[in-house]
């Protein structure tokens, strides 16, 4: 089996936005409680923050963290989460039918972001609430002082403004499962008016308006058009969400779903540009893929979980090796769309469909942790348009699927070309790469993530990224073999 990649430094997609490597923390299951926050755990500091979790998150190089949801935000009263902890109310969370104690709230989250080296991406409730709660929240967070809400923030221990600069206008408002679900017309009007008052408080914020929650919605496309008719001039990003599963237990069809992912992003771009043309606008709208992942393993367990518990075990997928390959090929697809996708949040971060899992004793890293960690660490710089040839296969839903999926990123700071390549086939691939005008100097690192059963998970913490010692680099050409079903990375020092 053959795979070839040609890298041309002049064929650039765009500079990769650091926010492409972001995540989501929702008040759902054990994401917050037992995940980020566990005051009784010996691994926690004086704030109750799990330090083993903080260190693992730093390894992932996460930029933004979207909070507090997710579906949770559409029934959330933000005022419940501030002030003395012993005065905060315990509420029913209708989104996930759980008990919310509000012991981890707005101030705790802001302290946690500083400790974890991340930045906040705050969502406002446009389900059960609306304009007034949103304007009060941004005044509380961002206004310097001298007003009711900003002075209340100071009274609660934060003298300086939080200066949160990225805000989501609700969550999945097209879905009937959402508290306060709205039609596109209803939501578009509300989002427009909410954006208007939030910008009056802080003109320097970035706003994300909710697009379709999934491509399978009957309103997909028309929802975006209607919402953007109302909000195109008000917002900076349109959100999109995408999850994949392997319910049919068909490996090759599962991995081929990266084609659907590519088409999904391309379709949303087309809708945005159609609205731009119709409005005769000079603004090109960017995308925020603020939920994406593999999600399906926990469905049966979730159906059997009794309601009205505190921090129940919900959405606790234990990811296997084929899931890691799927996450890898989705990351490559995101880089291929770096010109329009500027924010992307792996959903979620801890315990809930997450790369990091906690126990009372410590943490363990899921299979999907490894490709995300590598791309987040080394996929910084300018994404280059891949020109590749590869053997192909047909699956149940897709034709002419390349066994090779690849992308290159040129980091001008380190003078490295970093290539991510995945072999989706069950045979080894003879892989060659032509760097053309890059003047390759030496191979800095070559790694491979391979050799595990496709259903193997990582509870025993045996998975690891291994070196690839069978690589030759000469005359601007790299040659090696990609192991069957493998995730690979190559770092090459170049001169201009």
Catalytic positions: 172, 291
Q: 294-298: which pairs have CB atoms within 8 A and are 24 or more residues apart?
A: 294/243, 294/244, 294/245, 294/246, 294/319, 294/323, 294/326, 294/327, 294/353, 294/368, 295/243, 295/244, 295/245, 295/347, 295/353, 296/243, 296/245, 296/246, 296/247, 298/353
- Contact between 477 and 435 under an 8 Å Cβ cutoff? The reply is yes
Determine how β-strand 440-449 pairs with β-strand 466-467. Answer: antiparallel
Residue 405, Ramachandran bin (φ over 0: left; ψ between -120 and 50: alpha; else beta): beta
**CA dist., res. 197 & res. 454, Å (int):** 50
Cβ atoms within 10 Å, residue 148: 10
Residues ≥6 apart with Cβ < 8 Å to 221: 212, 267, 271
């Amino acid at each position: 089996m053959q795979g070839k990649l040609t890298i041309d430094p002049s064929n650039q997609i765009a500079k990769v936005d650091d926010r492409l490597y972001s995540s989501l923390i929702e008040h759902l299951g054990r994401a917050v409680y037992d995940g980020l926050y566990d005051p009784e755990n010996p691994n926690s500091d004086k704030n109750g923050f799990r330090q083993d979790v903080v260190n693992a998150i730093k390894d992932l190089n996460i930029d933004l963290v979207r909070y507090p949801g997710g579906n949770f935000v559409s029934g959330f009263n933000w005022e419940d989460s501030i002030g003395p902890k012993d005065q905060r109310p315990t509420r029913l969370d209708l989104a996930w039918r759980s008990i919310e104690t509000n012991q981890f709230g707005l101030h705790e989250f802001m302290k946690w972001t500083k400790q974890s080296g991340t930045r906040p991406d705050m969502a406002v409730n446009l389900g059960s609430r609306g304009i007034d709660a949103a304007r009060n929240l941004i005044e509380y967070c961002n206004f310097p002082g001298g007003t009711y809400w900003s002075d209340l923030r100071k009274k609660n221990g934060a003298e300086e403004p939080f200066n949160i600069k990225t805000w989501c206008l609700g969550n999945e408002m097209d879905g009937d499962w959402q508290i306060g679900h709205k039609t596109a017309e209803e939501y578009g009007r509300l989002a427009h008016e909410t954006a208007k008052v939030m910008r009056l408080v802080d003109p320097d914020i970035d706003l994300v308006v909710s697009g379709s929650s999934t491509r399978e919605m009957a309103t997909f496309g028309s929802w975006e058009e209607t919402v953007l008719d109302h909000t195109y001039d008000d917002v900076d990003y349109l959100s999109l969400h995408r999850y994949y599963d392997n319910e049919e237990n068909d490996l090759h069809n599962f991995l081929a779903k990266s084609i659907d992912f590519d088409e999904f992003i391309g379709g949303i771009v087309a809708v945005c540009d159609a609205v731009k043309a119709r409005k005769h606008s000079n603004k090109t709208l960017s995308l925020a893929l603020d939920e994406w992942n593999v999600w399906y393993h926990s469905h049966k367990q979730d159906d059997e979980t009794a309601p009205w518990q505190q921090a129940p075990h919900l959405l606790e997928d234990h990811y296997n090796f084929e899931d890691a390959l799927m996450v890898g090929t989705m990351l490559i697809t995101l880089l291929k769309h770096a010109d329009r996708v500027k924010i992307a949040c792996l959903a979620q971060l801890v315990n809930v469909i997450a790369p990091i899992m906690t126990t009372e004793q410590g943490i363990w890293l899921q299979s999907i942790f490894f490709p995300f960690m590598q791309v987040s660490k080394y996929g910084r710089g300018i994404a280059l348009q891949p020109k590749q040839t590869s053997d192909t296969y047909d699956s149940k839903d897709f034709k002419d699927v390349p066994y090779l999926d690849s992308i290159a990123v040129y980091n001008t700071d380190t003078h490295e070309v970093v290539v991510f390549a995945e072999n989706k086939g069950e045979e080894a691939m003879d892989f060659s790469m032509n760097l053309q005008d890059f003047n390759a100097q030496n191979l800095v690192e070559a790694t491979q993530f391979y050799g595990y059963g496709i259903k193997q998970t990582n509870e025993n913490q045996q998975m690891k990224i291994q070196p690839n010692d069978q690589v030759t680099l000469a005359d601007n050409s790299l040659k090696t073999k990609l192991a069957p079903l493998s995730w690979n990375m190559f770092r090459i020092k170049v001169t201009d």
